[in-house]
Chains A and B, each alone.
Chain A
């Protein structure tokens, strides 16, 4: 494993570098709920634990895929207040789920260091929004670190534990897609893993009743004053001087593009690179602003640094013009890249714009699709066959949102994890339309349960479908409470979705294998007839969990039998089908030999390839 390398350097993914930092810092407890772009942080902990265990060695730390981000943060908080170093990682919207815990945890503080990692996703590569989580640092009064690349990520994690311990305050650590998913050389130190137990020392100030909270709030603000001193002296906040009196301020991956453009264009400027961005190093910022005639702030998403720098300039009466959002194409939306940053720097220095040209030939888009052989496709196909016109399909977060695309089109409304059930209840009240909602097994455990309780209690008339593919597929096949093993590779208690919903009081519950289309259709017909809340558990493993050998082979089309009814392409929509001239064919490199298509083909033209 590269992340456990004993060489001086390794080529690590930003997410792996975070883990290496934690491993060198002597991590004791790591928790998560997986979410792109943070997933490989957790998966790397899981792999390390299993690697040591397979060698008969004690991993020296505990790792957990928790039910959701809130539980993950609470578990690790208990460890950190008991004196164990802890790390909790999640995607940006995961912090929304954990925010209730987060806000008050800052009041209580920790004993051993606790690093809370948020992986933001500018451009929404795999997310439902692109919120800028740096505001959580301001909102909750957490110190904030923002690395630019894997090497810095590793060093910063180690420093983050120290800062957290110095202040007895959990620390927020902001990755983004382009720090999580870039690979670069990382200098390595000694691995420092040793199993420890903590000790919880009781303290009435840890019970946040109103009287205590009122005492804790001013203490938190004092801690943030101390944090500002740390920020002033942090080696992650520094100025690079390339001459002249123009200034550029940047943080995170934007800094990489700034450095690249400044060197490429050979412009004279001073660069203030900020790595600890809450609290800002006020004195350092004042000195920088005073030394510059004009300043350009390059940061992705919101004007987090820009507005603070403008406030400082105003309060200190510094004569400096500060440019940021809205200048030269710097936007509050989407991630930046070298082109965007080079364009604005050219403008800032009065240089001519660069020309570039895309292809003049129209290129078909290639969005992600449900895999060939995905059991969700079978469920969706069956549902569409039996559901009446106008049925509303609330959906949820997971691979199955890909069912939104034609020809399946079985996703009508989506907000966040678990939202399918709450909105299904609302639609069933607000309209006369039938409602069939969808969520995955991992989402069911994460945030689906309270919605189902609500549906049962008020007897809302809707069908809730749990697409139980026995894994957390989209983020990389992590275990969940429905699997028989956990993130350490230990045996775990497997909860059955159908048992849980029966326990919640759902009266009409059916389990079906979606790869049998007829049975699936019958199941949904019965659920549609039922008046009240019903649950269909559509259970078949993710095709990617089935061993390669069993997925080998392919189906083909008997061209003599094919009537070109196009059901395979235009209704079932498996990506392995395509037109070669006027013949419909199956791409054998894509086909995973599930054979479900043979059930949709009325002329029986699809057969197994010999």
Chain B
């Protein structure tokens, strides 16, 4: 069994925290898991990528065409790493663009989100959710990463149960925020249920 997940987004969106919670769930379930993280300069509004590889794996980095799932906190950040996705892979992305400053000052262009979604759909199974809106409804925009984890759990793609992932969310978040994050997780989970 091998499962490779790629998490992407913008520095400050909780990409690492979300991926870390998931990786810990795998370890608690007795599975080998490797993870790679981006630290340092990229924390400050830069593009952030983090990978979680489970099972009989040696490298925490994912080869082109090797990711089963891309979970992205921002549409263009899903597209940036699309060559990593397997042919029949799944993309779960939040729909809210975060406009880079070089776009605001006119140095580059942010593509039309509809075109981004069209391109993503041509590469795999695309699940779009308004995670920001859900996060705000759960109590705070900061829970967006947990909404995305809930959505991922709701897709039934992983070799671990959703209740285990929720358990890991609860165990790895400061106590006073547990309730809000549980709400965020469940709302994310419902958002992808057909």
Contacts and interface: CB of A to CB of B under 8 A. Distances in A.
Nearest to A357: B83
Nearest to A181: B37
A547 interface: no
Contact of A367 (B12, B46, B57, B60): B46
A136 interface: no
A356 B66 CA distance: 10
Interface string B20-49: 100110010000111111111111111100
A181 B39 contact: yes
Contacts of A182: 34-37, 60
Given A11-B23, A182-B35, A182-B36, A365 B100 contact: yes
A573 interface: yes
Contacts of A590: 12, 45, 98
Interface stretch (A203-211, A252-260, A284-292, A454-462): A252-260
B120 to A, nearest CB: 9
A184 B35 contact: yes
B61 A363 contact: no
Contact of A183 (B37, B38, B83): B37
A354 B63 CA distance: 11
B82 A368 contact: no
B40 A475 contact: yes
B46 A358 contact: no
A9 B83 contact: no
Interface residues of A, number: 61
Given A354-B64, A474-B41, A181 B36 contact: yes
A131 B65 CA distance: 31
Given A263-B58, A342-B63, A354-B65, A126 B41 contact: yes
B104 A358 contact: no
B21 to A, nearest CB: 11
B105 A407 contact: yes
A363 B43 contact: no
A602 B119 CA distance: 42
B79 interface: yes
Nearest to A262: B58
Interface residues of B, number: 57
B105 A368 contact: no
**Binding site of A, secondary structure by majority: helix, strand, loop or mixed?**
loop
Given A36-B39, A184-B35, A570-B105, A358 B82 contact: yes
Interface in B104-125: 104-105, 107-111, 115-116, 119
B192 interface: no
A474 B34 contact: no
B59 A260 contact: yes
Contacts of A579: 99, 104
Given A406-B105, A475-B40, A257 B59 contact: yes
A589 interface: yes
Contacts of B110: 364
A451 interface: no
Contacts of B65: 354, 356
A339 B63 contact: yes
A452 B22 CA distance: 49
- For A37, A183, A357, the residue with the greatest tally of chain B CB atoms inside 10 Å of its CB is A183
A366 B83 contact: no
A21 B49 CA distance: 28
12 contacts: A11-B23, A37-B40, A126-B39, A126-B41, A358-B82, A359-B80, A364-B103, A364-B111, A366-B80, A589-B98, A590-B12, A590-B98
B11 interface: yes
B129 interface: no
A191 to B, nearest CB: 20
A369 interface: yes
A569 B99 CA distance: 12
Contacts of B101: 369, 405, 573, 575
- For A360, A363, A475, the residue with the greatest tally of chain B CB atoms inside 10 Å of its CB is A363
Contact of A402 (B38, B44, B109, B141): B44
Given A37-B40, A338-B66, A356-B83, A183 B20 contact: yes
A263 B55 CA distance: 14
B158 to A, nearest CB: 16
A341 to B, nearest CB: 9
A125 interface: yes
